[in-house]
A and B are shown apart, each in its own frame.
Chain A
């Protein structure tokens, strides 16, 4: 699976959009980009995933660059409850259901 690089921490003001970047320059054609987050002392929570098109759901939007070497998770109106560690994970769909490999992620602190 392709390696990902994320900034260790970010701050965001409450009510503003939080844009969390992820670099995955070695991603291959059959690998998806998944985002999870972990609120303190809880299990991780699935947010969104995509292959090459931008995706949006009730939680967030995922923007993947045309060359697929990077992506951005967007929380459109961050709240204090969005304070968490966000993990960008690249994984091949071809290998079926596998455990996830978590990097160090980005610690997002939403400020009041």
Chain B
């Protein structure tokens, strides 16, 4: 089946630094990718939709200047957490839909656990 990878799988950084997370579709092209965030014992919450060749669209309450998204190619989307703070510590997951237009079978990456000290 289709595979979505994320890198890194986990990262620890100091407060105030920036962290880049990559999401790749390994065997299919993805013009759209989604970024989610999951806090402990909570469900996944959509942060933004990444669109190849155009600007990302962000969910209400998600700061676009803090969470920079770049969809540079049909197989790569990156999420950069700028000036990270401890409250940004979370599990970040990307997904990409596959199949015919209208289908919603999505493949998720394994997630990236971010810990900000």
**Interface pair B102/A101, CB less than 8 Å apart:** no
B113 neighbours in A (Cβ, 8 Å): 41
Q: Which residues between 19 and 50 of chain A lie within 8 Å of chain B, taking CB atoms?
A: 32, 34, 38, 41-46, 49
Residues of A within 8 A of B101 (CB): 96-97
A43-B104 in contact (CB<8A): no
Interface centre among B44, B103, B105, B111 (most CB of A within 10 A): B44
Known A41-B113, A43-B95, A43-B111; contact A97-B44, beta-carbon cutoff 8 A: no
Which of A32, A42, A87 makes the CB contact (< 8 A) with B104? A32
- Answer yes or no: B46 CB below 8 A from chain A CBs: yes
Closest approach, in angstroms, between the C-beta of B44 and any C-beta of chain A? 5
Q: Which residue of B lies closest to A34 (CB)?
A: B104
Most chain B beta carbons < 10 A, residue from A43, A46, A87, A102: A43
Query: Cβ of A98 < 8 Å from any Cβ of B?
Result: yes
Contact A46 B106 (CB under 8 A): yes
Q: Is B108 an interface position by the 8 A CB rule?
A: yes
* Contact assessment for B108 and A44 in the assembled complex, using a CB-CB cutoff below 8 Å: yes
B94 to chain A, nearest CB (A): 8
- Interface size band for A: 20 to 34
- The 8 Å CB contact of A99, one of B49, B109, B111, is B49
Q: How far is the CB of B115 from chain A (nearest CB, A)?
A: 13
Give the chain B neighbours of A49 by CB distance below 8 A. 104-105
- Chain B residues within CB distance 8 Å of chain A: 4, 6, 32, 34, 36, 43-46, 49, 91, 93, 95, 97, 101-111, 113
Q: Out of B44, B104, B107, B109, name the residue touching A102 (CB < 8 Å).
A: B44
**A103: B residues at CB distance < 8 A:** 43
Bound CA span A95–B97, Å: 13
- B43, A43: Cβ atoms closer than 8 Å: no
Of A44, A46, A95, A97, the contact of B32 (CB 8 Å cutoff): A97
Q: Determine if B110 and A42 form an interchain contact, defined as CB atoms under 8 angstroms apart.
A: yes
Q: A98-B104, A102-B43 are in contact. List 16 more A-B contacts (CB 8 A).
A: A32-B104, A34-B105, A41-B91, A41-B111, A42-B111, A43-B6, A43-B93, A43-B108, A44-B44, A45-B108, A46-B107, A49-B105, A94-B102, A97-B102, A99-B36, A99-B46
